[in-house]
Structure 1
Amino acid sequence: MTVTYRQPGVVLTDHRFTVPLDHDDPTGETIELFAREVVARDRVGRDLPWLLYLQGGPGFGANRFIGKQAWLGRALQDHRVLLLDQRGTGHSTPANRQTLPLRGGPAEQAEYLARFRADAIVRDCEAIRPQVTGGAPWTVLGQSFGGFCTVAYLSTAPEGLDAALITGGLPSLDAHADDVYRAAYPRVERKVAAHYARYPQDVERARRIADHLLTHDVVLPSGYRLTVEAFQTLGVLLGSGDGSHRLHYLLEDAFVRTPSGPALSDAFQEQVQGLLSYAGHPLYALIHESIYAQDDRPTAWSAERVRSEFPRFDAAKTLAGDEPLLFTGETVHPWMFDTDPALRPLRETAELLAARTGWTPLYDPARLAANEVPVAAAVYHDDLYVDTAHSLTTARAIRGLRTWVTDEFEHDGVRAGGPRVLDRLFALVRDDV
């Protein structure tokens, strides 16, 4: 059953699709996918090509736009757009602490979640494409992890693609998770240094909050235990265009005076709770490191292990001296499954995924080297989330891929400057520049 309705300037149609949980077993268990079709109101009756949007993540549903926000308005000038909630996300069959026990115990849950990577997402896309386009290839726009999925698409089913647009999402084709995080921690340190250069008053504020957390047991209203390591992960904000400013305003309102002395304010705790909780996207924590897994090596909590190679991120050692506290970036750690009540029931499942070996390859270098699909990628000069050097190495490995390397935007360029970003990428795939 489809439902059609309107928003300012657009007409929306909700779609549901049934796909195999395991595409190698098409007669076995199935799951449901949700996708939202969007067309400009003045183009409803036209025969338009399709653009499929693959959201970043993993573990996030597609953007819930109102009207023609961000990049959507530019895309709707030429296309019908399908906003897909990738398997396990958004309005698709959910995978979280409430639903995963239906699978059985941790072993069964881990086996289930191993089928939620880019390769399965691509096969989902190919399963629904004939129902959406009548069999015609479509253009794919992949943001961040959606770009990883797009490279997997080019590797396994390029016949389904008319063109591919990638924003901040060219993955390394062969790096282990350890390689990803060894490149990431120095990059995070540069972003933190830039933040403190912009807001030098935040050096003392961050140290004061960290010291408070080292000497007090702080539990947020949701039950989230706010440790100093959890506080440091707020550095993930520094990967967006306005993130440094948001972090600054968060830090400046951290403390209030109480009869018992200084305490973290309710307003600060409420904001931090919203930023740190995985209740709305638990898949991100569960399968994040597996997006880099392609061989017999386990990820084995890579971000946590590699962090020990960078002792400047140790808050206790920092506070023993006079150095600025370093925040961290896009990393998942085993202690998150203790601090976050949305993740606690899934700790054993996460451990099994971290120990898992025998991951299948996600990319086909030979097929990418022979690529014939027009591809354009926006590569951000010092992207917090995706290493620029890794992205450019991959760009050279995909035949015909054209890059736009820019320092005008951070990782969220397609949100912050969507029309300009899409204009540039469309021009590149159409050979107009």
Structure 2
Amino acid sequence: MQISRFRHAGMTVTDHEVRVALAHDEPDGATISVFAREVVAAERTGLDQPWLLFLQGGPGGKGPRPASPASWLTRALKDHRVLLLDQRGTGRSAPITRQTLPRVGWPELQAEHLAHFRADSIVADAEVLRRELVGEESAWHVLGQSYGGFCALTYLSQAPEFLASVAITGGLPPLTAPAEEVYRISYDRVAEKNARFFDTFPQDRDRVTAVVQHLRTHDVRLPTGEQLSPERFLTIGVELGATSGFDPLHYLLDEAFVPGSDTPVLSETFLAGVHAVVSYATRPLFPVMHEPSYGQGEATRWAADRVRRERPDFDPQLDEPLLTGEMTYPFQLRQDPALADLADAADLLAERTDWPALYDLEALAANDVPVAAAIYHDDMYVVREHSLETARRVRGLRTWVTNEFEHDGLRQSADVLDRLLAMNAGRL
């Protein structure tokens, strides 16, 4: 259902909202609202253009808000009508936050509710939108960034007949690997990023050490009032995997301490910057659903935390501890005020064993939909080893392996999408 339309920055933007089943296998049960934003170049308003569904990274990432066309969106709007989906649980699609989840009931009911917020349900929501906007039997194109690529592989498994083509950037998931196997490789990649960062900015090794030692002996509070622990501070390493991650992290550490103080004092500028990185107030679904997004038939049991205990180099008690990456840990759910009310449900999800399969291996092996994927060689978040293995198991999938970009290459250059579209069209 169309709910509003406006023109801005050379785009015609139309908002849509549909009601869908919370559990798609229970169509007569509870429903939720799903929101999506249609964008078309203003000069092409009213023209018949192919649809391109954009699946955002996450889990827990809402669709982009097009204040002005990003490079990839500018390229997409040349020949597509783009739909920016707020995946369920994000943005305006039944958002999951500390303000909304407690309304569901006690933690067991919350966990059962959240079990319907994975890729399989997101794809089923997309199918409702496709039928509503494109037509019952019409196909559309899909672009998946990061976790959006995970969803795209689920889409290829569940409803390939309604896909005209699929482009994936930094998001070919492991099809069968359990979460702990994912993290064993991920920690290697994070260690490599640490080494490169401290090689680029040698003085920051001492700065990180000094901050950690200070936090071990002082009660330091973030702008929101909670204590900043050493282990939570170390999660600023999540920034190491972005194209511009090294520089902002360096300049953050550069102002860690108040100059000229008789005793070390962490600056308010630094603490505000740390809070901006480590707080999940704007995307609370991510730490709750990150590991369950790998769950298929077995419990994830806080895999990143378990694997970290196998890695002496990531022991937060070391004199010179390493920064961590995109991993999520139980302590974050307790130490972040935005997550505290979701912590018990997250613990229950971590022990859940009946996760259904997200990928149909036979359907993927028989795939005949054009699929092109950018695999970033140095990707810290979605490791190339699993992506390459998945590419081998999807019939007809064409890969572009590059170290020209980091995980966020799609945002950095329109050339990424342009190349993938050309690959799917057989021009490259």
TM-score range, shorter chain: over 0.9
- Aligned ranges for residues 125-144 of structure 1 at < 5 Å? 125-135=126-136, 136-144=138-146
Summarize the alignment of residues 15-54 of structure 1 with structure 2, pairs less than 5 Å apart. 15-54=16-55
Give the distance between the partners of 1:68 and 1:316, measured in 2 at CA.
45
Corresponding position of 2:374: 378
Amino acid across the alignment from 1:306: V
SS at match of 1:359: coil
CA contact (8 A) 1:225 1:340 kept: no
1:391 has 2:387 as partner: yes
Mean CA deviation greater in 146-155 or 343-352: 343-352
RMSD: 1.1
Counterpart of 2:417 in structure 1: which amino acid? L
What are the Cα deviations for residues 206-261 of structure 1, in whole angstroms up to 9, with x where unaligned?
11111111111222121333111111111110111000111101100011047672
TM (normalized to structure 2)? 0.98
Measured in 1, the distance between the counterparts of 2:139 and 2:68 equals: 26
What's 2:276 paired with? 274
Matched, 1:426 2:421: yes
Indicate the residue corresponding to 1:69 in structure 2: 70
Q: Which amino acid aligns with 1:86?
A: Q
Runs of 5+ unmatched residues, structure 1: none
User: Structure 2: how far apart are the matches of 1:148 and 1:259?
Assistant: 49
The letter of the residue matching 1:331 is M
- Whichever residue aligns with residue 10 of structure 1, its letter is M
Superposition deviation, residue 274 in structure 1: 1.3
* Stretch deviating more after TM superposition (1-10 or 302-311): 1-10
Q: Tell me what 1:96 maps to.
A: 97
Deviation at 1:325, TM superposition (A): 3.3
Distance in 1 (alpha carbons) for counterparts of 2:143 and 2:120: 16
Is residue 189–residue 326 contact of structure 1 (8 Å, CA) maintained in 2? Answer: yes
> Aligned ranges for residues 79-118 of structure 1 at < 5 Å?
79-118=80-119
For 1:51, give the aligned amino acid.
Answer: L
Give the 3-state SS of the residue equivalent to 2:157 in structure 1: helix
Distance 1:259 1:149 in 2: 51
Q: Deviations over 1:167-223 (max 9, x none)?
A: 000001001000010111011000110111111111111111111111112221213
Contact 1:181 1:306 in 2 (8 A): yes
Superposition pairs of residues 308-387 of structure 1, within 5 angstroms: 308-317=309-318, 319=319, 324-387=320-383
Distance 2:412 2:183 in 1: 26
Alpha-carbon contact 1:203-1:325 (below 8 Å) kept: no
Match of 1:5, SS state, is strand
- TM-score if structure 1 supplies the norm length? 0.97
Cα displacement (A) at 1:405: 0.3
One of 221, 224, 231 as aligned partner of 1:222? 224
CA contact (8 A) 2:146 2:169 kept: yes
Q: Give the 5 Å matches for 1:409-424.
A: 409-417=405-413, 419-424=414-419
Residues 126-275 of structure 1 correspond to what in structure 2 (within 5 A)? 126-135=127-136, 136-257=138-259, 261-275=263-277
Q: How many residues align?
A: 426
Q: Distance in 1 between matches of 2:77 and 2:272?
A: 37
| 1:402-429 Cα distance to aligned partner (Å, 9 max, x none) | 0000000000000011x10011101110
Deviates more, 1:338-347 or 1:109-118: 338-347
Q: Residues 33 and 91 of structure 1 are in contact (CA less than 8 Å); yes or no, is this contact kept in structure 2?
A: yes
**Letter in structure 1 aligned against 2:403:** D
SS in 2 for 1:39: strand
- Moved >3 Å (runs of 4+): 257-260
% identical aligned pairs: 53
Contact 1:223 1:341 in 2 (8 A): no
In 2, Cα distance between equivalents of 1:195 and 1:148:
28
Residue 16 of structure 1, CA deviation: 0.8
Return the alpha-carbon distance in structure 2 between the equivalents of residues 24 and 162 of structure 1.
25
Determine the C-alpha separation between the residues in 2 that align with 1:259 and 1:370. Answer: 66
| Matched residue SS, 2:35 | strand
Letter aligned with residue 421 of structure 1: V
Q: Once the two structures are superposed, what CA deviation does each residue of 1:346-389 show, in whole Å capped at 9, x if it has no partner?
A: 22111101111111000011110000100000000010000101
8 Å contact kept, 1:224–1:277: no
Deviations 1:274-296 (A, max 9, x none): 1111111111011110000001x
Q: 2-side partners of 1:395 and 1:78: how far apart?
A: 27
**2 CA distance for matches of 1:30 and 1:339?**
32
Secondary structure in 2 aligned to 1:269? helix
The CA deviation string for residues 308-350 of structure 1, in whole angstroms up to 9 with x for no partner, is 1111112322x1xxxx531110111000122101111222111
Contact 2:102–2:341 (CA under 8 A) maintained in structure 1 = no
